[in-house]
């Protein structure tokens, strides 16, 4: 079973400020946690891919109606709750294991090592439709 863990630019349960406001030490601790967790998933063979995504100020929204040039809208956006900060794709044996991984991500350290309580959106990857169906 493949799942994507989607991390959004959104408030966290701990009430921590956005990562751009953290001390360099807190930022490093968070990044070190992320690297260690991804390495752990790679070691168990469960990691498919993990990537951070550019911030809201780098977003481009592309709309195309089939004629002429596409319309490209730039950020930044004041409403960032819909934007992805990053994702991890895992291949696991069960939903329960995917939830366990998502819970660990949710508790990633924030300022002063306090668990963030991030909202991790967990979605099963369904794959392409069966062409015979």
The mean per-residue pLDDT over the stretch 86-109 comes to: 96
Q: What is the phi/psi pair of residue 93, to 5°?
A: -80, -20
Lookup: tokens for 28:
């490093």
Examine the pLDDT at 20 and tell me if it is beyond 70: yes
Residue 120 contacts residue 17 (beta carbons within 8 Å): no
Query: What does the pLDDT read at residue 79?
Result: 57
CA 17 to chain centre: 17
Give the tokens for residue 9. 């630019």
The pTM assigned to this predicted structure is: 0.84
Interval 104-129 mean pLDDT: 92
Lay out the sheet containing 2-8: strands in order across.
47-52, 84-91, 2-8, 120-124
Q: What is the pLDDT of residue 78?
A: 53
Q: Burial code of 19-39, b = ≥16 C-beta within 10 A, e = fewer?
A: beebeeebeebbeebbeebee
Whether pLDDT at 93 is above 90: yes
């Amino acid at each position: 079973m493949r799942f994507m863990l989607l991390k959004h630019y959104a408030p966290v349960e701990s009430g921590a400020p956005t990562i751009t406001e953290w001390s360099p030490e807190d930022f490093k601790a968070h990044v070190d946690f992320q690297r260690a967790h991804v390495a752990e998933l790679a070691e168990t063979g469960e990691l498919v891919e993990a990537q951070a995504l550019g911030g809201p100020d780098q977003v481009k929204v592309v709309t195309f109606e089939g004629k002429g040039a596409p319309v490209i809208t730039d950020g930044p956006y004041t409403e960032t709750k819909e934007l992805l900060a990053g994702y991890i794709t895992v291949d696991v044996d069960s939903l329960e294991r995917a939830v366990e991984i998502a819970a660990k991500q949710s508790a990633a350290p924030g300022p002063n090592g306090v668990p963030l309580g991030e909202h991790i959106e967990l979605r099963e990857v369904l794959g392409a439709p069966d062409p015979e169906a």
